[in-house]
Amino acid sequence: MTFDEARALFPVLERVAYLNAGTFGPLARPTADAIAEQLAHDVALGRSGKAYIEAMQAARAALREMIAELLATTSEHVALTSSTTDGCNIVLGGLGLRPEDEVVTTDAEHFGLAGPVFASGATVRVAQVHELGPEEALDAILAEITPRTRLLAVSHVLWTTGIVLDVHALRERTGLPVLVDGAQSVGAVPVDVGALDFYTVSGQKWLCGPESTGALYVADADALRVARPGYFAQRSFEPGGRYVPRPDAQRFEPGWVSVGALKGLATAIGLAPNWRFERIRETASYCRDALEKRVTVVTPGDQAGLVTFRPDGEPDEVAVRLLERGVVVRSLPGTPWVRASCGWWTTDEDVERLAGAL
């Protein structure tokens, strides 16, 4: 697929410089068609019967396979969820932590991870990484570890400064279980779960899938309790309540996902060209250079798809003003910053439109 063909997949790009995949990626026409087609099928033929259930199971299995490939793992380690937040809740809820246990996280986590961490019942130690570069941030996280640490819970790519944390080094250097929030990494940078324990996926961001889709990687299903069993947790179920859980990560799946959404995400993942990571890197670098001529850029070079900067003026107002000029970015709450997301579909002209409008 050429760059022009790739770009033509996304009708929204004809109207605006869409630089907000960090919130929701642009929707491709074939993705929307796959969702609509399934919905039309359901409207005409109903949502019932053996064939329907088998097709739904097949769609789930196909999506697990595709997500496993994205994470460089195999599908028995993948549970389909509705979001990164869902995945973080499954892990933190299943570990059964108590106040004498400690979880180390950072002050730059999204509520999707921070919420479940603080609700876990453990004592939370927060590394201050807000304005640090990748290496210093790693040191700050390591400095919070004590003999009571039971889990490190951090993002692979911070949604604020856009820096990439070396999560593999955290695992290697500490030997502790690591939960990685992959909301800003999967689809934006190559991911290999390697020795990590838990890794979340958001379908609606860099993968350009529909809302309420996602996944959770679990290295060892037996090391995590199923705290909230959904229908797909059971291999067998006996009247009276006893159940045998599935042997793999499917036991953590919280529930049904609409078949249209399953097919939409599978279509979106299948559309992404093999040059996507290289292009994201190039376009983020171009964006940094273009913005640096006008404003202070927060994100260091060579990170992922996010480029955060400090505009002249109040960030919320700047984001609104940019939208009026056809540039979609987001302000970051509680900071003086605005964030641009550079995707594999982004042109230099999109970036220039942003820079020119500042």
Interface pattern 113-132 for ligand PLP (x via CB under 6 A)? x-------------------
Residues between 127 and 166 with contacts to ligand PLP, criterion CB under 6 A: 155, 159
* Residue 18 three-state SS: strand
Site string for ligand PLP, 73-112 (x = CB under 6 A): ----------xxx------------------------x-x
For ligand PLP, give the closer residue by CB, 64 or 246. Answer: 64
Q: Is 197 in the site for ligand PLP (CB under 6 A)?
A: no
Q: Closest approach of Cβ 286 to ligand PLP, in Å? A: 23
Residue from 17, 63, 165, 183 touching ligand PLP (CB under 6 A): that is: 183
**What is the nearest approach in angstroms of ligand PLP to the Cβ of residue 52?**
27
Q: How far is the CB of 22 from ligand PLP (least distance, A)?
A: 6
CA distances from 73 to 146, 151, 304 (A): 31, 22, 21
Phi, psi of 300 (to 5 degrees): -70, 170
Q: Least distance (Å) from ligand PLP to the CB of residue 179? A: 12
| Cα–Cα distance measured from residue 135 to residue 30, given in angstroms and rounded to the nearest whole number | 40
- Cα–Cα distance between 12 and 43 in angstroms, integer? 27
- Asked whether position 209 contacts ligand PLP by CB under 6 A, the answer is no
Question: How is 183-232 classified by DSSP, letter by letter?
Answer: TTTBTTB----TT-SEEEEESSSTT---SS-EEEEES-GGGS--SS--GG
Q: Which residue, 96, 58, 60, 92, is CA-closest to 79?
A: 60
DSSP secondary structure letters along 51-63: HHHHHHHHHHHHH
* Cβ pair 255, 230 in contact under 8 A: yes
Residue of minimal CB distance from ligand PLP? 112
Which of 6, 21 has the CB closer to ligand PLP? 21
181 near ligand PLP, judged by CB under 6 A? yes
Cα 330 from Cα 307, distance rounded (Å): 11
Q: Which residue has the tokens 């033929």?
A: 45
* Least distance CB 54 / ligand PLP (angstroms): 28
**Least distance to ligand PLP from the beta carbon of 327, Å?**
19
> In this complex, which beta carbon is closest to ligand PLP, that of residue 107 or of residue 349?
107
Rounded CA-CA distance 175/195 in Å is: 10
Task: Tell me if 214 contacts ligand PLP by CB under 6 A.
Answer: yes
Residue whose CB is less far from ligand PLP, 181 or 253: 181
Task: State the minimum distance, in angstroms, from the CB of residue 183 to ligand PLP.
Answer: 3
Q: Are strands 178-181 and 198-202 parallel, antiparallel or unpaired?
A: parallel
| C-alpha–C-alpha distance, residues 103 and 152, integer Å | 6
Residues 256-275 that bind ligand PLP (CB under 6 A): none
Binding ligand PLP (rule: CB under 6 A), the pick from 184, 283, 341, 346 is 184
Q: Which amino acid is at 224?
A: L
User: Residue 204 corresponds to which tokens in the numbers above?
Assistant: 């609606």
12-71: contacts with ligand PLP (CB under 6 A): 23
Q: Which residues bind ligand PLP (CB under 6 A)?
A: 23, 83-85, 110, 112-113, 155, 159, 181, 183-184, 202, 214
